[in-house]
Chains A and B, each alone.
Chain A
Amino acid sequence: MEWLVLVIVVVMLSSAVAVLLLKDFLAALAAFSVVSLGLSVLFVILRAPDVAMTEAAIGAGLSSLLFALALRRLGLWRNRGQ
């Protein structure tokens, strides 16, 4: 059980670092979705199913959709960001 938590936390933190360091914004968005997904699994392990469902629906769903729409409207959708 503790190894599962350790693996999820390591994946989450490395994706969080990748969000800030990746040059392509689409890849940063994918890494942000991974952070949200790991967080929602952590919430299930912490025995909070309501919060896990909210984080999965909003973080990995609506938040990423908002970012993708905004990136498209800003013209950062292709490999041009810095």
Chain B
Amino acid sequence: MLDTGLVLYSAAFGLILIGIAGIVLSAHLVRIIFGVALLEAGANLLLLLATWREGASAPIIVAGRVPEFMADPVPQALVLTAIVIGVGILALALSLALRVQRAYGTLDMHEVRQRMEQEIADQAGIDMPASSHAPAAVQAARQEGSA
């Protein structure tokens, strides 16, 4: 009744969609990192689904069993390395988040961006172009600085 292939492809599609949504729409840096990890999981699932056929068996020879149709081992090898690379990326991203916390004191990306631009403007000696969409804390500091 229900097509297994369709369900699996919609799972990969959903994970990729949720991952990208997490990266673009989140304010907190740790949630952005969660979004990257979800996106990687969805991409690995999609890669493995590329040569899946119903009724295949695992590509391993066990004594006394003769499989008639074995699954494709090449995407499995690629996904194996991709998962390990993903954990390496995750470790580096979390270390960078720790440094951002140490340097700016906050992990809210809007505030961090404002402070970075403020530092660049201070070092260049020019005024930072004021925006009405700055977070409340930065706007209050700006008003205190000018008053």
Contacts and interface: CB of A to CB of B under 8 A. Distances in A.
Mutual binders A and B? yes
B107 interface: yes
Contacts of B90: 63, 66-67
Contact of A81 (B11, B28, B52): B28
**Interface on chain B toward A: helix, strand, loop, or mixed SS?**
helix
B108 to A, nearest CB: 8
**Interface on chain A toward B: helix, strand, loop, or mixed SS?**
helix
A75 to B, nearest CB: 8
A8 B50 CA distance: 20
Size range of the interface on A? 35 or more
21 contacts: A2-B1, A2-B2, A3-B2, A5-B4, A6-B7, A9-B7, A9-B10, A9-B11, A13-B15, A16-B38, A20-B35, A35-B41, A39-B45, A42-B8, A46-B8, A48-B58, A51-B76, A63-B87, A70-B30, A74-B30, A74-B97
Interface of A: 1-3, 5-6, 9, 12-13, 16-17, 19-20, 25, 28, 32, 35-36, 39, 42-43, 46-51, 54-55, 58-59, 62-63, 66-67, 69-71, 73-74, 76, 81-82
8 tightest A-B contacts by CB? A70-B94, A9-B11, A16-B18, A13-B14, A47-B71, A47-B58, A20-B22, A2-B2
